[in-house]
Amino acid sequence: MDGLNLLNILKFVAVLVAAAIIGNWFLARVKKPKIREDPWYMPYVSLPGIIILLALMLPLILWIINR
């Protein structure tokens, strides 16, 4: 295993850790409105919700730009 492969593995691990942190943060935001009976869309307008929505829309945005 050379240094380049190790660097790629570290990049993948960093992305997975970031996804897990943002996912747990979003899940905590989803549970709060259920307890307080806030509107269903409140988790999606929070910071982790916006990050997730942007990540889901990124392929579409890149496709539109490169077309």
Which DSSP letter does residue 1 get? -
Which DSSP letter does residue 37 get? T
6-56, pLDDT tens digit by residue? 889 999 999 999 999 999 999 998 888 777 888 888 889 999 999 999 999
The full set of domain ranges for the chain reads 3-66
48 close to 31: Cβ distance less than 8 angstroms: no
| Per-residue model confidence (pLDDT) at position 32 | 82
| Per-residue model confidence (pLDDT) at position 22 | 96
Q: What is the pTM of this model?
A: 0.76
- What CA–CA distance (Å, rounded) separates 48 from 29? 8
- What CA–CA distance (Å, rounded) separates 7 from 22? 23
Distances in Å between the alpha carbon of 5 and those of 9, 16, 39, 58?
Answer: 6, 17, 46, 26
Instruction: Please give the helix or strand (H or E) that residue 39 lies within, else none.
Output: none
